[in-house]
């Protein structure tokens, strides 16, 4: 008997699962559902067999892979082993043929992580891992105790190693698909840029809207390509990417264009307010343009109310201009480098990349030790500021 139960290059196995792959090519939703069924099957162990027989995902796999209707008899050890082998191979073939969507990769990878963890835990703690399924097969061939032991070891190694390898492949696939889908989305946005009608926004708000839209395509990992795409977007939006921008002038213009609060919601969504605390951003992030924008968002409403009350008593006061002037003066008093000057596309890129940093170091909910067993985490739910855990020395993470 072949000690390596799982043979990923088994031609006969590929022939058996071909109808299922043909369905995956036609129906992405069914592809994803069956891929998740496969990962659940990989978690199946001997001690759960009785419960498995009545579960829908086992019947779906058995029906798809064998072409037979009716409930699988898992008392048949060889049937159990075969379905697991076919589950591995189905996932392998999806990868080889690039049939998985990004959503499918993400969900399958997550479930496969459970499978790997569970197999390893069972092997190390109880010895009741998936290899027990093959005991009867070995005995039926009058195998010696030594052969049975070798069979168990080889099966353990095969299942765990192949699951690990599959997870690594899914990691690569997820990254590749994500890059392709992100690049495609950005290119589509630039090709249809005029349809978004950014021209309806005043100048400073227009830049905020363009940066906000770009952030919908990516959460981080900014590259030189992103800088070029953003530069192109600004140009298409009627904004000279090389125009010099003085932070103070930009905030003054933003305050005027936003009055009374026409685009406040858009600005808050870009900055992830109120989840991010502007005060913490000022303390922990050294990006003048970003700090100025967070401070503007924090000061705007309170100062607008005060100035509007003042303007009612003084007819010669324009609340729009007065508010813009007062906010820029407040930024000066806070020590923000409001006279700093940069080209518009650098300013926009600072906002694009800086918001990610602001989330990590200005998180309003506070920070905690990433180690759940750390005494510091057990005693204190969250620290006010980022830094290192004073108990174990690990970097604190935002409380989510």
Residues 329 and 400 in one domain: no
Residues 127 and 21 in one domain: yes
Count how many domains the chain has.
Answer: 3
Q: Range with the lowest mean pLDDT among 29-38, 90-99, 122-131, 232-241?
A: 122-131
> d(Cα 195, Cα 191) in Å, to the nearest integer?
9
Task: Identify the CA nearest to 376 among candidates 356, 359, 361, 396.
Answer: 396
Residue 202 lies in a domain: no
Residues 179 and 306 in one domain: no
Residues 263 and 306 in one domain: yes
Residues 159 and 283 in one domain: no
Q: Are the C-beta atoms of 395 and 388 separated by less than 8 Å?
A: yes
Residue 203 lies in a domain: no
Average confidence (pLDDT) over 134-158: 49
Average confidence (pLDDT) over 185-196: 92
The tokens for 105 are 């990769």
Other Cβ atoms closer than 10 A to 272:
17
> d(Cα 16, Cα 14) in Å, to the nearest integer?
5
Residues 352 and 231 in one domain: yes
Residue 81 lies in a domain: yes
Residues 275 and 398 in one domain: no
Residues 81 and 156 in one domain: yes
Tell me: pLDDT of 294 over 90: yes
The tokens for 297 are 């968002």
Give the pLDDT band of residue 340 (cuts 50, 70, 90): confident
Residues 95 and 109 in one domain: yes
> d(Cα 263, Cα 143) in Å, to the nearest integer?
76
pLDDT tens digit string along 80-111? Answer: 677 777 887 888 788 788 887 766 676 676 66
Residues 370 and 357 in one domain: no
Residues 109 and 121 in one domain: yes
Other Cβ atoms closer than 10 A to 260:
12
Residues 150 and 256 in one domain: no
Tell me: pLDDT of 238 over 80: yes
Can you give the pTM of this predicted structure?
A: 0.59
pLDDT tens digit string along 204-215? Answer: 999 999 999 999
CB burial of residue 32 (10 Å; 0-12, 13-18, 19+): buried
Give the domain extent around 395.
Answer: 365-400
Residue 194 lies in a domain: no
């Amino acid at each position: 008997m072949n000690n390596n139960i799982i043979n990923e290059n088994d031609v006969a196995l590929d022939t058996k699962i071909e109808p299922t792959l043909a369905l995956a090519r036609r129906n992405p939703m069914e592809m994803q559902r069956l891929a998740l069924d496969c990962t659940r099957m990989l978690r199946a162990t001997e001690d759960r067999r009785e419960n498995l027989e009545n579960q829908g995902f086992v019947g779906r796999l058995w029906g798809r892979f064998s072409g037979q209707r009716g409930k699988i008899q898992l008392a048949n050890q060889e049937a159990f082993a075969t379905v697991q082998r076919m589950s591995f191979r189905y996932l392998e073939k999806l990868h080889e043929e690039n049939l998985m969507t990004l959503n499918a990769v993400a969900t399958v990878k997550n479930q496969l992580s459970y499978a790997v963890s569970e197999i390893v835990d069972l092997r190390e703690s109880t010895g009741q891992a998936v290899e027990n399924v093959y005991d009867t097969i070995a005995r039926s061939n009058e195998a010696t105790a030594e052969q049975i032991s070798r069979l168990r070891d080889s099966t353990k190694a095969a299942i765990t190693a192949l699951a690990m390898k599959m997870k690594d492949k899914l990691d690569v696939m997820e990254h590749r698909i994500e890059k392709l889908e992100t690049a495609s989305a950005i290119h589509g946005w630039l090709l249809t840029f005029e349809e978004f009608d950014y021209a309806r926004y005043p100048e400073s708000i227009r830049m905020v809207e363009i940066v906000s839209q770009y952030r919908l395509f990516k959460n981080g990992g900014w590259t030189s390509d992103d800088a070029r795409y953003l530069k192109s977007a600004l140009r298409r939006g009627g904004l000279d990417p090389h125009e010099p921008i003085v932070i103070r002038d930009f905030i003054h213009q933003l305050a005027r264009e936003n009055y009374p609060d026409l685009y406040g919601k858009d600005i808050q969504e870009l900055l992830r307010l109120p989840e991010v605390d502007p005060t913490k951003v000022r303390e922990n992030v050294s990006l003048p343009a970003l700090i100025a924008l967070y401070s503007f968002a924090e000061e705007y409403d309170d100062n607008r109310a005060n100035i509007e009350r003042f303007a009612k008593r003084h007819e010669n006061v324009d609340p729009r201009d007065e508010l813009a002037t007062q906010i820029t003066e407040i930024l000066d008093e806070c020590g923000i480098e409001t006279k700093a000057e940069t080209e518009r596309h650098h300013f926009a890129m600072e906002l694009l990349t800086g918001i990610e940093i602001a989330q990590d170091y200005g998180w309003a909910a506070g920070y905690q030790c990433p180690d759940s067993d750390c005494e510091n985490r057990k005693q204190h739910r969250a620290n006010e500021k980022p830094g290192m855990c004073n108990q174990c020395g690990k970097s604190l993470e935002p409380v989510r």
